[in-house]
Structures are given as C-alpha cells and as structure tokens.
Amino acid sequence: MQNIAPLGPVYQAGTLSGNPLGSAAGIASLQLILQNPKDFYQTLDHYSSEWRNQMESHIQLKGYEACVVQSGSMFSVFFCQNAPKNYADVKASNTSRFNIFFWSLMEQGVYFPPSAFEACFLSSMHNAQIMEKVSWASLRALDKAFEKNV
C-alpha cells in the first residue's frame, strides 16, 4: 500500500478502493466464483448470448440501423449500421436514438448504462426471469428509438 497515492506514485481511484468492506466483499465474491468458475461464466455468457440473439433478430426483422456487440457477459447496443471498432466509430453512431432507447428502458424498470460509450455487465443475479424482462423491455425500447425520426 506504500506505493498507492498519496504515499506512493501509483494513483488509484474507485468507489470502494481501499475500503475494507468493499475488499472483503470482492474476496468473498471471488471465492464463490472459484467454487465452480466454468458454470459461473458459462451461465453469464449464455444469458448475454440469448439477449444478443433476440436483439439481433429483432433488428434484422425490422430493418433497424442498429447493432449489438457482445464479449462474454458484456454487451452494448449501438445505433449505426456496422459494429463500431473504435472511439471514432462510436462517436459517429446515433446517440440521440441511444438516449431514447435508454430512457425507454428506464421507464420499464430496466437500468442500462446511460451512455452509448459504456457497456452492460451481467452478474450472477441476472437469472432467467430477470433476463426475460430485460429482453422484452429492450425490444420495446428499440421500437421506441426508431418511432422518432432523429
């Protein structure tokens, strides 16, 4: 810890950085994951892939200019024709549509990252029932984003 600012040259910031309770919770979480890591990550990946597939099918069916990017249990929706490959591509996406999408999800009780520059992360609490709600809300939010000509 002597290397961490303000004592040392390494700057570290975060909501629970150095907080003993946050550190204990992190260690406990890792211990639970390590009991069966293959199942833990396969479950997260499964729910993410199911959600992505439903979104992509809906996008294709409706002909929307949108795409879904997924890596493991992380995913994002971009309102552009091709999946962004860098910051400039994301900046060129239709963030106005993203904002409509975000607020539609919020109105339906689904919290999504509020910026097109962020990603969603699933947790072990995202079970089949929750993901069904998220999926249906996401499809309605997509429709709402394309109802308005922005």
pLDDT at 130 over 90: yes
Tens of pLDDT, residues 53-95: 999 999 999 999 999 999 999 999 999 999 999 999 999 999 9
Do 101 and 73 have their domain in common?
A: yes
Q: Cβ–Cβ contacts within 10 Å for residue 122, how many? A: 20
Residue 34, pLDDT score? 94
Which burial class, exposed, middle or buried, applies to 27 when counting CB atoms under 10 A from its CB (0-12, 13-18, 19+)? exposed
Do 119 and 68 have their domain in common?
A: yes
Can you read off the two tokens belonging to residue 68? Answer: 């879904």
The whole-angstrom separation of Cα 55 and Cα 21 is 38
Do 135 and 92 have their domain in common?
A: yes
Q: What is the mean pLDDT of the chain?
A: 90
Do 73 and 100 have their domain in common?
A: yes
Q: Could you list the residue range(s) of the whole structural domain that residue 93 is in?
A: 37-147
34 within 8 A of 110, measured Cβ to Cβ: no
pTM: 0.79
